[in-house]
Amino acid sequence: MTNPLLAFDSETRRQFMLKTAKAALGVSVLSHSEKLQAAANACPPGKGGKAKAVIYLYMQGGMSHIDTFDPKKGETKGYSEPISTKADFQLGGYMKKTAQQADKISIIRSMLIKTAVHQGANYLMHTGYEQRTTIVHPSLGAWAQHFLGKKSTLPFSVNVNAAEPHPGAGFFPPAFAPVPIHDATAGLANIKPTVSEGTFDKRIDLLNAFDKGFLNKFQSGEVKAYTEFYNETLKLMKSEELKAFDISRESEATKTLYGTSTFGKGCLLARRLVQNGVRFVEVQTGGWDMHNYIDDAMQKTGTNMDEVYSALLQDLKATGLLDSTLVVLASEFGRTPRINENNGRDHFPIFSTVFAGGGVKGGYVHGATDEDGKAIADKQVGVGDFIATIGAAMGLPITEVVMSPSNRPFTVGDKGSPVAEIFA
């Protein structure tokens, strides 16, 4: 029997099914579709950024918004006075170098996360989804590789100063996982064979012969994905493009600009990687869980972030990469406005994130907290919206539904709406 629905075009069929579901089951079943439509309307085609690459700077531990990008003047201001910048807003007193780059950045001061707990918040800030025991969701780099494809011998995404656990490829194939770099100075580890090239090639031939029967018998997508991942790794081992991982090739002036800290070297490596075609690089740095003596911690960790972040923006601008590279600075949550009895700040669900380059406005602030930083006063932004904003900046189809191997629907940012106002 012919199904009359097949005579409709895809849009008509979709509308018919949605209306039928609404009449039979109630409006709540339409929330998924309605949220996707809202996300599409929030950032229509052509309104997003123009980022060919993303550098995601992740401040692990919970960066204090009040001491960095959302300073206050009352009793919650902490140990530093707000300072003026090259834009029409102020920054925390530790952000002296970033203040000179403020005309390049957009700050979202109205971020909100449900629970300020490290593990769950870390996962959410990398995937846009709450952590579940039944599934691992893809991180941003994996989403981008799924939609944009890999066109280079170099990895699509790299995680510098990698910390565990990281969601990685999630339910996508293992080849979509970021390549971990634990030491930016050492570059890509274990990339050179420990035997001669002839011996190495002979061993690979023997391995392929041994695997041939298994590969012919089990021609599943999972087996194919692992084989492709293995072959891509072998190509990379013999590629001249490996020099992208070698920061020693940089000039002394450039190395001095970034400094000698682990974070500085990581950001220098990130610039080299995007310059050579890597599409998504995350650089992690810790030390932000400042429950005690926050002034001392900010003098060290905060000042280093300020100097390195400023250096990265300067370098990207000088090399002509800033227009095509989105630099995102974020943390898993903020810290309490009121200083605690240990002269520190505790976990707090309100925080700030920062965007620069890649088609983003400069000198712009989106949203606000109240005068003490205790509540959101304007334009609340959720983590899904944050993830969707990065996706929109890269030109990803953020409303397109992707089915997991368990046949469940997912989108970039879990139906979040991009913050279109930050785009130029």
Q: What's the pLDDT band for 27 if we cut at 50, 70, 90?
A: very low
Give dist(CA 51, CA 325) in Å, integer: 5
The least confident of 37-41, 57-61, 81-85 is 37-41
SS3 162: coil
CATH value of 34-187+246-422 in 3.40.1020.10, 3.20.20.70, 3.40.720.10, 3.40.50.300: 3.40.720.10
3-state SS of the chain: helix, strand, coil percent to 5?
Answer: 40, 15, 45
Q: Does pLDDT of 68 surpass 90?
A: yes
Which pLDDT tens digit goes with each residue over 151-161? Answer: 888 999 999 99
CA end-to-end span of the chain: 54
C-alpha to C-alpha distances, 282 to 151, 187, 330, nearest whole angstrom: 19, 14, 11
Task: List the domain boundaries for the chain.
Answer: 34-187+246-422, 188-244
C-alpha to C-alpha distances, 145 to 156, 260, 357, 394, nearest whole angstrom: 7, 32, 20, 11
SS3 59: strand
Instruction: Of 14-23, 199-208, 263-272, give the range with the top mean pLDDT.
Output: 263-272
Question: What was the pLDDT predicted at 99?
Answer: 98
Which pLDDT tens digit goes with each residue over 231-260? Answer: 666 566 666 788 999 999 999 999 999 999
Q: Pick from 135, 225, 218, 126: which is nearest to 175 by CA?
A: 225
Q: What's the pLDDT band for 189 if we cut at 50, 70, 90?
A: low
Question: What was the pLDDT predicted at 141?
Answer: 97
Question: What was the pLDDT predicted at 55?
Answer: 98
Q: What's the pLDDT band for 223 if we cut at 50, 70, 90?
A: low
Which pLDDT tens digit goes with each residue over 110-127? Answer: 999 999 999 999 999 999
Give dist(CA 71, CA 269) in Å, integer: 31
* The token pair that represents 51 in the structure block: 């980022």
Question: What was the pLDDT predicted at 24?
Answer: 39
Question: What was the pLDDT predicted at 187?
Answer: 85
Q: At what angle do helices 140-148 and 383-393 cross, to 10 degrees?
A: 40
Q: What's the pLDDT band for 165 if we cut at 50, 70, 90?
A: confident
DSSP state of 84: E
Give dist(CA 105, CA 360) in Å, integer: 8
Give dist(CA 419, CA 424) in Å, integer: 12
Average pLDDT over residues 145-153: 92
Which pLDDT tens digit goes with each residue over 86-107? Answer: 999 999 999 999 999 999 999 9
Give dist(CA 350, CA 360) in Å, integer: 23
CB-CB contact of 39 with 398 (8 Å):
yes
What's this model's pTM, rounded to 2 decimal places? 0.84
Q: At what angle do helices 221-237 and 197-217 cross, to 10 degrees?
A: 170
* The token pair that represents 317 in the structure block: 């601008």
Mark out the alpha helices in 197-339 (DSSP H runs). 197-217, 221-237, 252-258, 262-275, 294-297, 303-318
| Number of residues in the chain | 424
Decide the pairing of beta strands 381-382 and 105-112: parallel
Is residue 271 exposed (0-12), middle (13-18) or buried (19+ Cβ within 10 Å)? Answer: buried
Mean pLDDT, the chain, rounded, equals 87
Residues 6+ apart with CB under 8 A from 71: 77, 80, 82, 83, 90, 91, 92, 93
DSSP state of 423: B
What's phi and psi for 331, nearest 5 deg? -145, 175
CB-CB contact of 80 with 306 (8 Å):
no
Which pLDDT tens digit goes with each residue over 289-332? Answer: 999 999 999 999 999 999 999 999 999 999 999 999 999 999 99
C-alpha to C-alpha distances, 65 to 332, 345, 368, 372, nearest whole angstrom: 11, 11, 11, 11
Q: Pick from 228, 223, 293, 309: which is nearest to 261 by CA?
A: 309
Question: What was the pLDDT predicted at 64?
Answer: 98
Give dist(CA 92, CA 295) in Å, integer: 12
Q: Does pLDDT of 416 surpass 60?
A: yes
CB-CB contact of 60 with 332 (8 Å):
yes
Q: What's the pLDDT band for 163 if we cut at 50, 70, 90?
A: confident
Share of the chain above pLDDT 70, in %: 77
Q: Pick from 267, 259, 247, 257: which is nearest to 186 by CA?
A: 247
Q: Pick from 49, 104, 31: which is nearest to 418 by CA?
A: 49
Decide the pairing of beta strands 409-410 and 402-403: antiparallel
Query: Nearest-5° angle of CA 385, CA 68, CA 338?
Result: 95
Q: Which residues pair with 351 in a beta bridge?
A: 111
The residue that leads in pLDDT, 131 or 239, is 131
Which pLDDT tens digit goes with each residue over 351-384? Answer: 999 999 999 999 999 999 999 999 999 999 999 9
